[in-house]
Amino acid sequence: MFRKILLYIALSLTLISVIYFSFIYYIPYSEGVRSGELIKISHKGFIVKTWEGELSQGISGAQIFTFSVMENEDVVIAEMKKWQGKKVTLEFEERYKTFFWWGDTRYFITKVTLEN
């Protein structure tokens, strides 16, 4: 009887964890676009390295949009390195929460385009 209760508790906790992580990973809170001057892109961290960046949307950096880039977004990272200091448009997804191995912010860049 005790083993059966313990098994149900373990299965319930596992199911709740799977649902929680799936929700955080697959369902974005919002999606959008921001434009400005790409002023920073860096690979930072001590144990877990993440890609972090900043976009200046105002005069003299009055409005800074901080964002993260997922490690698997190789094309986005390469384009940001190439276009650093230029005016770009960033498409992003905002997540409900983030995990430390994803990045420091809840905003994750999915596409970057150079503005003319």
* Residues 92, 63, 86, 94, Cα dihedral to 10°: -10
Does residue 35 belong to any structural domain of this protein? yes
Does residue 74 belong to any structural domain of this protein? yes
Residue-range definition of the domain harbouring residue 91: 29-114
Top pLDDT among 94 and 1 is at 94
The closest of 20, 31, 15, 10 to 99, measured between CA atoms, is 20
Number of domains in the chain: 1
Give the predicted TM-score (pTM) of the model: 0.80
Say what the pLDDT of residue 24 is. Answer: 86
Does residue 39 belong to any structural domain of this protein? yes
Does residue 14 belong to any structural domain of this protein? no
Say what the pLDDT of residue 69 is. Answer: 94
Say what the pLDDT of residue 90 is. Answer: 96
Does residue 3 belong to any structural domain of this protein? no
**In this predicted model, what pLDDT tens digit does every residue of 2-52 receive, in sequence order?**
899 999 999 999 999 999 989 988 888 999 999 999 999 999 988 999 999
CATH number at residue 83: 2.40.50.140
